[in-house]
Chain A
Amino acid sequence: MQVKENGILKKYIPLAVFALAIFLLPSHISNYEMKTLIFVGINAIVAMGLCLLMGYAGQISIGHAAFYGIGAYTSAIITTTYGLSVWIGFLAAILLSGLVALLIGIPSLRLKGHYLAMATLGFGEIMFVLFVEMEQLTGGTEGILSIPPLSIGKFIFATSQQIYYVVWIVTILLLVVALNVIHSRVGRALRAVHGSEIAAQAMGVNTAKYKIQIFVLSAVYAGIAGSLYAHFVNFINPTPFTLNFSIILVIIVVVGGMSSIWGALAGAFVMTLLPEYLRVFQEYNLIIYALILMSVMIFMPSGLVPGFLNLINQFKQREGIWRFLESKN
């Protein structure tokens, strides 16, 4: 990923432009489109966390839907069964997803490659079984109803537009956090681990600690997204928290570009909006996603965002060469 460190302003321009676009959109789009964009934001949050884990720390998780679910169920249970405030639920969701990530992460992140993938897959499936079977707590297959919407004091975020702003404010904040992590000491350590874990260890980087920290952070992101989801749709059951969703998350990160947080955002846009445009082909969902995933991995393995940035670079280089050759004549 290219880092232009010359000037604080330059670094934040893409972010500012993006934030502006997001905030100006609601007046130009329909209610339905706004709801879709809320889902984009929620998915983007999970994707950004997963991107930090996969792209920067070089690990893999195909069970992240579990943390999303933990966040959603925690918020739901705290606000319905216990009737506590939405923000306590939110906090609990963050804490619980982080805690579970810590418990699972410590033994899992000693594994590598396939073993880690399988461990996360297994964990995700176990959580799904728990969501379904622990009926007392989770409502089983029927789930939990009447989850209250987000609110600050007396003000309730009830309309789609209000929820849109809350979700996207959180998304952009988390985007800034992610970007800061990448450019921090932790981020550099992570990239060292990704480059070569042994070399990083030889340089004194405590690889285990950083891997676990990022795993927990990515789980917290997912938990936050899950909480927002629960308060947005006001009803949850185990259905969204399956392996399918975990794989879609991986597709989002990979297709957008593992090595780029913006890639995660782009991927979230693409993969959330795609089913809307492909409604005609809805039955072929599975095959289409599979083909997208495989094509990107086979032909543009670094993802769409880095892939296109590369293409643009190549054009610039070729243009430069043309100009040079022309000027010589």
Chain B
Amino acid sequence: MQLSQILQFVLSGLSAGSVYGFTALGFTIIFNTTGIINFAQGEFVMLGGLISVYYYKGLEFPLFFACLAAILTVMIIGALFERLAIYPRRNSSVITLIIITIGGSMFFKGAAMHLLGEDPVALPAFSGDKPIMFMGAAVLPQVIWVAGATFVAVVLLWFFYRKTILGKAMRASSDNKEAAKIVGINVSRLTLYSFAFSAAIGAFAGVVVTPISMAVFEMGGMIGLKGFAAAILGGLGNPIGSVLGGLVLGVLESLSIGIISSGYKDAISLLVLLLVLFLRPSGLFGSTKGERT
């Protein structure tokens, strides 16, 4: 393969990888505060994409406003989900919570199918369709948006977790929930914020990537699974690791399309997931606080 072809694959892999990275971030945020894996995370991405299209095309909001409104809407949905489905059973076993979030993901999928339609939809590209040529590879301007957004998000998150009280409280809560409660941190409110925040991040990813790969009601499942793979790859609990894991996964997947065939592309990501789980659950950058016997 020529260099420009490889570059093409890598660049398109980076754009898919950003979505996985953002989804992974969502997983990490919720996991960090609560220790729960939110199986509905992929659905937040899907909802962001579908709702933003609905606002833009159905309600004819201006583009940026539609995006913002969609992110806010999904954030509220995430908060409601936490209060209604998670909070009542917050002390239940892991399996119960897993099953509740699985139920949540099914619910969002079904509701989206009903209320927002079954067909794939897309937003127009934020700054036009004309590809930019970069060392022989064509790059859509939207990919630059995605990359930029990812970078900004990572910086903001780093700042949030290190420098703000709320961020520090979240890290404290993930380290030791009981100790955090003792020093007066309101863990249940943090859980609410985490879900809302993760939902917003997921929606953000969904919105930004819709112009490239269309949004459809069933996209959440695979995105969630790959986002989780990315989160584990980068080390569950490490925000920067999550994003990097997503990018790595995206590029691997993209290269595998080039080298093997597109049918197996999903299997490749999942194989990566299984390998990481079996061989190094703490991922590339994570602590060894894994759940292994």
Q: Which residues of A contact B (CB under 8 A)?
A: 54, 58, 60, 62, 107-108, 110-115, 117-119, 121-123, 125-126, 129-130, 132-133, 197, 207-208, 243, 247, 250, 254, 283-287, 289-291, 293-294, 297-298, 301
Contact = CB atoms under 8 A, between A and B. Distances in A.
A112 B281 contact: no
B107 A287 contact: yes
Interface of B: 36-37, 39, 85, 88-89, 92, 94-96, 98-100, 102-104, 106-107, 109-111, 113-114, 221-222, 225, 228-229, 232, 261, 263-264, 266-267, 270-271, 273-274, 277-278, 281, 290-293
B36 to A, nearest CB: 8
A286 B102 CA distance: 12
Given A110-B278, A122-B225, 11 more contacts: A60-B98, A107-B278, A114-B98, A115-B290, A118-B273, A129-B264, A207-B293, A284-B114, A287-B110, A293-B99, A301-B92
Contacts of A115: 232, 277, 281, 290-292
B277 A118 contact: yes
B281 A290 contact: no
A285 B100 CA distance: 17
B268 to A, nearest CB: 9
Given A118-B277, A126-B267, A293 B111 contact: no
A138 to B, nearest CB: 13
A47 B247 CA distance: 38
A298 B110 contact: no
B292 to A, nearest CB: 6
Contacts of B267: 125-126, 129-130, 133
A252 B165 CA distance: 44
Contacts of A126: 267, 270-271, 274
B99 A111 contact: no
Contact of B99 (A125, A197, A207, A254): A254
A297 B89 contact: yes
Contacts of A208: 293
Contacts of B274: 119, 122-123, 126
Given A122-B273, A126-B274, A112 B100 contact: no
A277 to B, nearest CB: 18
A113 B94 contact: yes
Contacts of B291: 111-115
B39 to A, nearest CB: 8
A269 to B, nearest CB: 20
Nearest to A121: B225
A298 B232 CA distance: 28
Question: Helix, strand, loop or mixed for chain A's interface?
Answer: helix
Contacts of A108: 277-278
A285 B94 CA distance: 26
Contacts of A290: 103-104, 106-107, 109-110
Nearest to A60: B95
Nearest to A197: B293
Given A111-B281, A113-B94, A293 B102 contact: yes
B277 A119 contact: yes
A111 B278 CA distance: 8
Contacts of B113: 286
B96 A301 contact: yes
Given A132-B263, A208-B293, A298-B88, A125 B100 contact: no
A110 B261 CA distance: 32
A283 B109 CA distance: 12
A250 B225 contact: no
Q: Most chain-B Cβ atoms within 10 A of its Cβ — which of A110, A111, A115, A291?
A: A115
Given A110-B292, A115-B290, A122-B270, A297 B114 contact: no
Contacts of B232: 115, 118
Contacts of A113: 94-95, 98, 291
Contacts of A107: 277-278
A199 to B, nearest CB: 13
A286 B112 CA distance: 10
B114 A283 contact: yes
A111 B292 contact: yes
Contacts of B37: 114, 117-118
A285 B110 contact: yes
Contacts of B277: 107-108, 111, 115, 118-119, 122
Among A54, A123, A129, A130, residue most surrounded by chain B Cβ atoms (within 10 Å) = A129
A298 B85 contact: yes
A286 B271 contact: no
Nearest to A292: B103
Contacts of B107: 286-287, 290-291, 294
A118 B225 contact: yes
Nearest to A109: B293
Nearest to B92: A301
Contact of A129 (B96, B100, B106, B263): B263
